[in-house]
């Protein structure tokens, strides 16, 4: 049931992104966002990593909005775990990330897991 939806999602996702030149697990969205997205359990999509190459300019929000729209178009749920990457002051803290994900409509649990339903 979801296998076809995931395949269609994956095709659209890979067509709209490019392979990261240094790490095959990552993709680039519009040359400003690094993503790691993969099939999750139970027919879901797992967002494992999202980071802007140009922090605090809204690129990650636009990318997440695009990714959520793509998942909705294919009837899929996106989930992941909120984790800060890097110690740079340019990037959001874990607390700020919780607010960011919530602002985009994520449900969260106490352990930092998030889910966007379609």
- What digits encode the pLDDT tens for the residues 60-113? 999 999 999 999 999 999 999 998 887 778 889 999 999 999 999 999 999 999
Residue 113: count other Cβ atoms within 10 Å of its Cβ.
Answer: 13
Instruction: CATH number of the domain at 61, please.
Output: 3.40.630
Return the SS3 of 47.
Answer: strand
Q: Tell me what pLDDT residue 85 has.
A: 80
Question: Domain total for the chain?
Answer: 1
pLDDT in tens, 29-61: 999 999 999 988 888 999 999 999 999 899 999
Q: Which residues pair with 66 in a beta bridge?
A: none
Inside any domain, residue 43: yes
Question: Is residue 1's pLDDT more than 60?
Answer: no
Inside any domain, residue 16: yes
Inside any domain, residue 62: yes
Inside any domain, residue 118: no
Q: Which residues pair with 115 in a beta bridge?
A: 79, 107
Q: Tell me what pLDDT residue 91 has.
A: 87
Range of the domain at 39: 2-113
Inside any domain, residue 66: yes
The owner of tokens 């449900």 is 107
Mean pLDDT of the region 12-31: 96
Q: Model-level pTM?
A: 0.92
Query: What whole-number distance in Å separates Cα of residue 39 and Cα of residue 55?
Result: 26
């Amino acid at each position: 049931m979801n296998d076809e939806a995931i395949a269609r999602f994956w095709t659209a996702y890979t067509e709209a992104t490019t392979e990261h030149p240094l790490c095959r697990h990552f993709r680039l969205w519009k040359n400003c966002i690094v993503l790691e997205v993969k099939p999750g359990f139970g027919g879901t999509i797992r967002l494992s990593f999202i980071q802007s190459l140009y922090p605090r300019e809204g690129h990650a929000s636009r990318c997440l909005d695009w990714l959520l729209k793509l998942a909705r178009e294919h009837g899929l749920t996106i989930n992941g775990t909120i984790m800060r990457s890097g110690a740079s002051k340019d990037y959001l803290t874990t607390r700020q990330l919780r607010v960011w994900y919530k602002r985009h409509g994520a449900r969260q649990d106490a352990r930092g897991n998030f889910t966007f339903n379609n």
